């Protein structure tokens, strides 16, 4: 196995975190949340809870990554903590549910906004985006990292312009900043839990740097900085952005809409300006897709190191790009684009990924108990309170989702069952 070059510096690592997080969810979730949660206080509470979950999860994942430093994300953690069967399941579902589905969702959101500017046949924008990004990363790993840094910087700058313009809006909505009696009823409803899934989905990506850990320079320093700075920046941006959405636009104008930022953009900048906002958001979704394709291909390559049947995905081209893994992720993402809807993709992925987050952070306790001799180079000051907060939030989300639709139990059981069958049929016999 050839030595993997450390190509990405700290700005590139931070850009992977921010680019992966600031994507589909923040520009689409509010329309679906307003179906069941039509209170300003409840909406802002949802996004605050999402930020708490992301930050506590980020701290916990960094602690795990420092104890078990290697690329692969949940797959690597599960292989060290739970054994090969669960690791195989985690890796397989991370690739399919954790990355291919969200890449497709981002591409579908890109299409919604891009069609506000220039309408093309259905699915064409989505297919073009996934294909273009995969090609860029096939060409050169370093150029792919530079592409992420540049497009992420443009995206953040344009979002900040949108926020400032929104805060200066001259005809704001009347907002109830203090909680009302009905807010408690909303927070105890299953709809609140489903809305929280959309929020946590929007925050997904704070662990992006861990997937490319082997390719980041000075990882002991840069991994924690990338994840914590990236998560902190994104949390502030999300709260400000949703304040602007609600400050400038009546809630009823945004209910159920995927391209939810279009209406606030129209109110702030006019119809022509709204088209520019759509263009900005569409551009902003490009690095989101880019980061996820890179991260997911590294999980596939990491599995190829452990299973002979997948060893073909270790192969890299002359530019050190795992080209077959990238092609696989591009193909899986295009399959989701062609056969599913945005709402189906997000709710299904959000439910399955909640289990991954829960068991990954539980693994920090298990690993610490089994190996007390290993010093915790990162995490001594917050363990165990911060991981417990994250675990409780995940348990809350799973409970809400099952309460909202008990059939999700069978959907989840079927998904995990298929993954286990694939392990016993192909993975177990090829474990190296």
- Rounded to an integer, the average pLDDT of 324-332 is 91
Asked whether residue 124 carries a pLDDT value surpassing 50, the answer given is yes
- Rounded to an integer, the average pLDDT of 64-69 is 82
Separation in Å, CA 233 to CA 183, 227, 305, 377: 28, 10, 34, 24
Asked whether residue 240 carries a pLDDT value surpassing 90, the answer given is yes
Asked whether residue 432 carries a pLDDT value surpassing 60, the answer given is no
* DSSP assignment of 334-369: HHHHHH--HHHHHHHHHHHHHHHHHHHHHHHHHHHH
Average pLDDT, the chain: 83
Q: Residue 332: what pLDDT?
A: 92
Architecture of domain 10-423: Up-down Bundle (1.20)
Q: How confident is the model at residue 1 (pLDDT cuts 50, 70, 90)?
A: very low
Record the tokens describing residue 164, joined without a space: 């400032």
**C-beta of residue 53 within 8 angstroms of C-beta of residue 200:** yes
Q: How confident is the model at residue 397 (pLDDT cuts 50, 70, 90)?
A: confident
Asked whether residue 117 carries a pLDDT value surpassing 60, the answer given is yes
Which segment, 3-7, 73-77, 139-143, 392-396, is predicted with the most confidence on average?
Answer: 392-396
Ordered by start, the domain boundaries in the chain are 10-423
Euclidean distance between CA atoms 7 and 384, whole angstroms: 34
Record the tokens describing residue 63, joined without a space: 């602690």
Q: Which residues of 373-412 are buried (b: 16+ CB within 10 A; e: fewer)?
A: eeebebbeeebeebbebbbebbebbbebbbebeeebeeeb
| Unique residue bearing structure tokens 């959309």 | 198
- Rounded to an integer, the average pLDDT of 40-65 is 88
**C-beta of residue 37 within 8 angstroms of C-beta of residue 250:** no
């Amino acid at each position: 196995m050839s030595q993997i070059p450390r190509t990405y510096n700290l700005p590139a690592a931070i850009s992977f975190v921010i680019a992966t997080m600031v994507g589909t969810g923040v520009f689409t979730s509010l329309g679906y949340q307003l179906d069941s949660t039509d209170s300003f206080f409840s909406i802002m509470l949802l996004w605050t809870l999402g930020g708490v979950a992301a930050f506590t999860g980020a701290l916990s994942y960094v602690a795990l990554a420092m104890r078990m430093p290697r690329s692969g994300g949940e797959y690597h953690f599960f292989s060290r903590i739970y054994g090969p069967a669960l690791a195989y399941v985690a890796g397989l579902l991370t690739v399919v549910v954790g990355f291919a589905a969200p890449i497709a969702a981002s591409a579908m959101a890109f299409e919604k906004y891009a069609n506000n500017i220039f309408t093309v046949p259905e699915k064409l924008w989505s297919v073009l985006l996934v294909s273009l990004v995969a090609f860029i990363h096939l060409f050169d790993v370093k150029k792919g990292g530079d592409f992420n840094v540049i497009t992420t910087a443009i995206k953040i700058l344009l979002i900040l312009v949108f926020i400032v313009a929104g805060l200066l809006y001259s005809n704001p909505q009347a907002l109830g900043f203090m909680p009302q009696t009905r807010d408690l009823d909303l927070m105890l409803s299953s709809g609140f839990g489903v809305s929280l899934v959309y929020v946590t989905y929007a925050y997904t990506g704070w662990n992006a740097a861990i997937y490319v850990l082997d390719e980041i320079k000075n990882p002991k320093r840069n991994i924690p900085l990338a994840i914590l700075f990236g998560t902190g920046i994104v949390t502030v941006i999300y709260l400000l952005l949703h304040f602007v959405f609600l400050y400038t636009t009546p809630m009823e104008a945004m209910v159920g809409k995927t391209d939810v930022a279009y209406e606030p953009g129209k109110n702030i900048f006019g119809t022509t300006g709204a088209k520019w906002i759509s263009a900005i958001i569409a551009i902003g979704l490009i690095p989101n897709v880019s980061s996820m394709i890179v991260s997911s291909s590294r999980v596939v390559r990491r599995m190829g190191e452990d299973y002979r049947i997948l060893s073909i995905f270790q192969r890299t081209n002359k530019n050190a790009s795992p080209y077959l893994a990238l092609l696989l992720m591009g193909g899986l993402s295009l399959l989701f684009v062609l056969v599913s809807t945005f709402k189906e993709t997000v709710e299904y992925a959000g439910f399955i990924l909640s289990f991954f987050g829960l068991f990954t952070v539980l693994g920090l306790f298990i690993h610490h108990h089994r190996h007390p001799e290993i010093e915790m180079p990162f995490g001594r000051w917050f363990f165990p309170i911060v991981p417990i907060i994250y675990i409780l939030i995940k348990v809350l989300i799973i409970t809400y989702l099952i309460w909202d639709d008990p059939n999700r139990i069978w959907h989840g059981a079927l998904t995990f069952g298929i993954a286990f069958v694939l392990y016993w049929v192909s993975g177990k016999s090829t474990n190296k």
